[in-house]
Structure 1
Amino acid sequence: MPSGEFAAAAQAILDAVNGVIDGKQETAATALMVLLAQGHLLLEDVPGVGKTMLAKTLARAVHGSVSRIQFTPDLLPSDVTGVSMYNQATGTFEFRPGPVFANLVIGDEINRASAKTQSALLECMEENQVSVDGKIYLLSAPFMVLATQNPVEMEGTFPLPEAQRDRFMARIAMGYPDRAAELDMLQAHQNSSPLERLKPVVDTAMLRRMISTVHAVHVSDPVREYVVDLGRATREHPEITLGASPRAMLHVLRAAKARAALGGQEFVLPDDVAGVAHSVLSHRLMVDRRAALNGRDAGAILKEILLRLPVDPAAGRESARRAAGVR
């Protein structure tokens, strides 16, 4: 895909999202990065800051199939994946697909459902398929889960299992808008929502071409070594009881490739890896109890690791040679 066409399509998506969500340009860019990296996104924050609105806006900007699951304590796994029903007319069981069969699935307040129901998404998010009664049903491509959750200390929430958190490529917090953005929001939303007027700016065919462009971004051996060293550093840190998994490091690399492509690069630099590390890794790391009591969190520890982790100068040189067409 020509770089100009990719940049124009990416900017159209960002403009569509930023036209609805005021003052969250960085958050919108991260959401697009995860979409192009074929990952899944977890939006965590207190109620009312626009988590669901961001998910709905990104879904509407892409002309694909969209479904929404409202997670509640009584939701069953079959309510998510689908169920086999007996057809009396034919005397056979027929599979009725659940809401997970869509290009973009919005999971609203995912941590209000039990761990059993949350686990229904594990196979979907990792393998893009659903297994029911011994049969495998493939999901649409591209496929992305955009889930929102409230902080775990809020009433009626369940913590996401570690295996579930590890399948989300990135977690971001919306945060409150600044004063100017909040004033703009009151003006734009006082009579109707801009979401109602939003039209799709790309279709799924264009989105697949954009994803292919991200796949083609070059990654040098020194950059791969930097990613591996980052993951190993989290596992060996004395204040971290659960470090980054191999899946997490693969997500870091994919996200870095998408970040590089959105920045107009044909190669990944260590800065791209460091730029995605917080959103991709912080929700997966478990800090030991003593460090947590001292006010240490995963984000602060990860920042220190990145500052101390040596960067091979060859990573930048090899990428520059690649950009110049020297192999």
Structure 2
Amino acid sequence: MATAPTTFSVSSPNGSAASQVMHRALEQLDQVILGKPTQLRLAVACLLARGHLLIEDQPGVGKTTLAQALARTLGLGFRRVQFTSDLLPADLLGVSIWDAASSTFRYQPGPIFSELLLADEINRATPRTQGALLEAMEERQVSEGGVTRPLPDPFFVIATQNPAAFVGTSPLPEAQLDRFLMTVTLGYPDARAERTLLETGGRGQSVRELPAVLDAPLLLRAQAEVDAVHAAPALLDYLQLLARATREQPAIASGLSPRALLALLAAARAWAYLAGRDMVLPEDVQAVFPALASHRLVLRDPAARPGDVIRRLLDETPIP
């Protein structure tokens, strides 16, 4: 890069009030979700980039706890919907009810009208219900009865899903997956974190006791600051090279779309912001690329591991 990036510590006077608060939010989350600093940073970057987050893992590793801790820490209104095979779109979006007193239909909003929606075990619902989320996630609005209603701002969807091999699950369609900016996997805790859980009996700081570190207006300010993080022309060249590599790699049947490329830029800006920089570097792109690409790339060999293909892409793509 021709111009050296400006660097500031989010805890220093040079950092904005919003960036300093985001740093405190990460510190608080780290006290609840033990031993997962990278996943927490990715989750917060996803929200700063105005994206939606998909957490894929087996039950019992903290997927729901992460969503609840984010909502409490960020001071957002939170609703949780358990996706099941009998969940209907109206159960999520709301329904118009006839009001005899006024002889009109009265709209009863569904749980989707919240600042942070947890779609728990989303791949247990029918495709019809999964599809009901598409307009909300993309357009941030709900259409019902011929009326379009805006969703709150900010509006985030955090969805969890069990591995596809689990009984009662159905895979999300590609169009639905593409609406998630990132996919993360928590995995098992490391030995130290697991020992802490055993010693405390899992009775560490309760999610319900977490104080709100910021609120919606301050979060919106942080998002605006993320939008202002500079991406130099050489950095954009690197993004295009990565996208082209996904489209030309023989192991990949379907590479990154232009919409995915825009999402990658937004995610890299958020990662740079959390690092206290006002300019995106190639390492920011590399840090978020696996979480952004793993659920979007369609591999020719179903038995191939997406992580291996992604690492090869990053290793072989030159940095301008």
Instruction: Choose from 211, 215, 232 the match for 2:223.
Output: 211
Residue number in structure 1 paired with 2:6? none
**Per residue, is there more helix in 1 or in 2?**
1
Unpaired stretches in structure 1, ≥5 consecutive residues: 313-327
Contact 1:82–1:98, Cα closer than 8 Å, also in 2: yes
Tell me the alpha carbon deviations over residues 20-49 of structure 1, each in whole angstroms, 9 at most, x when there is no partner: 111111111111110111100000111100
The alignment partner of 1:177 has SS state of: coil
Distance 1:206 1:188 in 2: 34
RMSD of the alignment, in Å?
Answer: 1.5
- Structure-to-structure mapping, 1:114-129, within 5 angstroms: 114-129=126-141
CA spacing shift, 1:83–1:304, aligned 2, 3 Å: same
- Structure-to-structure mapping, 1:171-320, within 5 angstroms: 171-191=183-203, 194-289=206-301, 292-293=302-303, 296-312=304-320
Report the Cα offset of residue 7 of structure 1.
3.5
Unpaired stretches in structure 2, ≥5 consecutive residues: 1-9
Q: Which has the higher contact order (CA 8 A, sep 6+)?
A: 2
TM-score, structure 1 as length reference: 0.91
Distance 2:20 2:196 in 1: 26
Report the Cα offset of residue 122 of structure 1.
0.4
Residue number in structure 2 paired with 1:92? 104
**Structure 1 residue 137 corresponds to structure 2 residue 145:** no
The residue identity in structure 2 corresponding to 1:307 is: D
Distance 1:310 1:24 in 2: 30
Report the Cα offset of residue 225 of structure 1.
2.1
Distance 2:184 2:201 in 1: 24
Instruction: Choose from 167, 182, 197 the match for 1:155.
Output: 167
Number of matched pairs: 308
The alignment partner of 1:174 has SS state of: coil
Distance 2:202 2:219 in 1: 33
Residue number in structure 2 paired with 1:170? 182
Contact 1:260–1:268, Cα closer than 8 Å, also in 2: yes
The residue identity in structure 1 corresponding to 2:319 is: V
Distance 2:159 2:127 in 1: 15
TM-score, structure 2 as length reference: 0.93
Distance 1:192 1:84 in 2: 43
Contact 1:61–1:202, Cα closer than 8 Å, also in 2: yes
Residue number in structure 1 paired with 2:85? 73
Contact 1:226–1:311, Cα closer than 8 Å, also in 2: yes
Which stretch of the first structure deviates more once superposed, 202-211 or 184-193? 184-193
Tell me the alpha carbon deviations over residues 32-68 of structure 1, each in whole angstroms, 9 at most, x when there is no partner: 1101111000001111000111111111111121111
Contact 1:19–1:194, Cα closer than 8 Å, also in 2: no
Contact 1:171–1:283, Cα closer than 8 Å, also in 2: yes
The residue identity in structure 1 corresponding to 2:256 is: A
Instruction: Choose from 9, 34, 49 the match for 2:21.
Output: 9
The residue identity in structure 1 corresponding to 2:150 is: L
Report percent identity of matched pairs.
44
